[in-house]
Amino acid sequence: MKNSIRIERAIKNITQEDLANLIGVSRQTINAMESNKYVPSTVLALKIARVFKKNVEEIFLLEKGD
């Protein structure tokens, strides 16, 4: 699953640590999501979407085979 978390963070000018604190996870979790090494739970995806004031589908994109 691809995502635009890194881009959204840049637009809002927040660090991985800032985002992690806002949604209650570690900075390493944010890094893993941005590197496509970790797929977040539905609840976590919704929290991320809320921070960026977007729909989940605007941040996370399923690829063929996912």
Confidence at residue 65, expressed as pLDDT on a 0 to 100 scale: 76
The structural domains of the chain, ordered by start, are 2-56 (1.10.260.40)
Model confidence pLDDT, tens digit, residues 1-44? 899 999 999 999 999 999 999 999 999 999 999 999 999 999 99
For residue 3, list its beta bridge partners: 60
Exposure class string for 28-45: b at 16+ Cβ within 10 A, else e: ebbeebbeeeeebeeebb
The pair of structure tokens assigned to 14 is 């927040």
CA dihedral 11, 15, 19, 24 (to 10 degrees): 180
Single out the residue of 22, 24, 29 nearest to residue 53, CA to CA: 22
Confidence at residue 37, expressed as pLDDT on a 0 to 100 scale: 95
